[in-house]
Structure 1
């Protein structure tokens, strides 16, 4: 009988058409921002409200965060014009 050992690797990618859910820590890493800055954005209403709560933990859809990033680029462009 063979024994298999699971290694700690990245979780599998979600199936096509399924929006990935991100934790605050994953978002902070993606945006390269500190924890205090991230939570300050939330408190000031500068970051989108979470999409759902998993247990007691907020989660954002990757598409929600991407839309927020895209809108920030659009706002910067509009401010120049």
Structure 2
């Protein structure tokens, strides 16, 4: 049941909240993650971003990338 809610949360974040950014397949988004960019964010397949992490700049992130908890990508 928890997995179902987690998948619904990911779908809501990617398709509604962050719809202007591009995300690949098999993306995991941790709790309280902040994503914002002035122009674009592109994320490849098999991406993991841990809880309380931030992406606060224009970025192109490739395939098979993992950000641990409390990581900030700013620029």
Band of TM-score, shorter chain? under 0.3
**Greater strand share, structure number:** 2
TM-score by length of 1: 0.24
Give the greater-gyration-radius structure (CA). Answer: 1
**Greater helix share, structure number:** 1
